[in-house]
Homo-oligomer: A and B are copies of this chain.
């Protein structure tokens, strides 16, 4: 049963708009007071940024979190969002309620309010565009272009490669056996049979098996974990800063180019997750984790004098704050092993091409 756009706004989205300037989402425009604001806008498209079979709950999560990740990367506290929901003509309208409930939970979790938006139908894929407003937590908002030779290079907020592994598992490109190499397979199978029946389908592998580790990796792909606690640390310490959304190597390249510097990354210092580490230590190519996307952690630079204060600031919050390299004069990104020898970075295999 299709749903009327205005009913959808009134019943499902208006309750998420507690901001007075949102006017209950019943006006043509909203009022934004206060400021200054850090603003970002990111769209996700079915078949490009998420799979058609991904559950609508996690699509809502991902749509908001990729924007929250941008704000965190700029040292800003999330404040409000505009939602443009472009709904396929042939997708069941009932799913909109699930989408709205999930988005509502996410907004509450991040302390955000829905300020306005637009809903429309499309003959094409589900497309969600969110504009997010954040309050800068420091006197300056770090850009990609602020890195200086001599600074340290840091990651904060999580691990590299988990989302890439999750996507391989969810899409069926990687088997459970490949993930389990080096793990006690018998124990894992028992665990799998015991709890598989209670898990949502989207945490199961394509072959219907459940595996707790695989489910966690798939979760990081479906709805990246983003940590608000990083924002004040970025605001206080970062020279240059940006979130990683296209893979560590590609985004480090962007930061290097914008700052007109070279970045040296120590491969052995990159914070991989336990299953990721085990996977490449038993034959996987760790460079796929470095070039795969969807990590949504923050890459930033800071002067060496800040090391102690930086590490102290993370105490008790477990943000996986890790120094992974250094800013140098020059250009480009080099990945080096423990001996300092360069490791070639392969082409990530996906592209940002527009049109034909």
Could you say which of B41, B47, B144 contacts A84, with CB atoms under 8 Å apart? B41
Chain B binder among A2-10, A221-229, A340-348: A2-10
Query: Considering the chains assembled together, what is the distance between the CA atoms of A40 and B31 in angstroms?
Result: 9
Binding site for B on A (CB under 8 A): 1-6, 8, 23, 26-43, 45, 47-49, 70-71, 73-74, 76, 82, 84, 86-96, 115-125, 127, 129, 131, 133-134, 136, 141, 143-145, 242-243, 254, 258, 351-356
Q: Which of B45, B119, B254 is close to A354, meaning CB atoms less than 8 Å apart?
A: B119
B120 touches A122 (CB 8 A): no
Q: How many copies does the complex hold?
A: 2
Q: In the bound complex, do residue A48 and residue B125 qualify as a contact, i.e. CB atoms below 8 Å apart?
A: no
Specify which chain B residues have a CB less than 8 angstroms from the CB of A124 in the assembled complex: 45, 47, 122-125, 127
Distance from A292 Cβ to chain B, minimum over Cβ atoms (Å) = 18
CB < 8 Å neighbour of A355 from B26, B28, B93: B93
Flag if B71 contacts A29 (CB, 8 Å): yes
Q: A2-B356, A84-B43, A89-B355 are in contact. Are A122 and B48 (CB under 8 A)?
A: yes
Residues in B whose Cβ lies below 8 Å from that of A87: 354-355
Flag if B48 contacts A39 (CB, 8 Å).
Answer: no
| Structural contact, B95 and A355, CB atoms closer than 8 A | yes
Is B34 in contact with A35, judged by CB distance below 8 angstroms? yes
Q: A28-B73, A29-B40, A29-B70 are in contact. Are A4 and B353 (CB under 8 A)?
A: yes
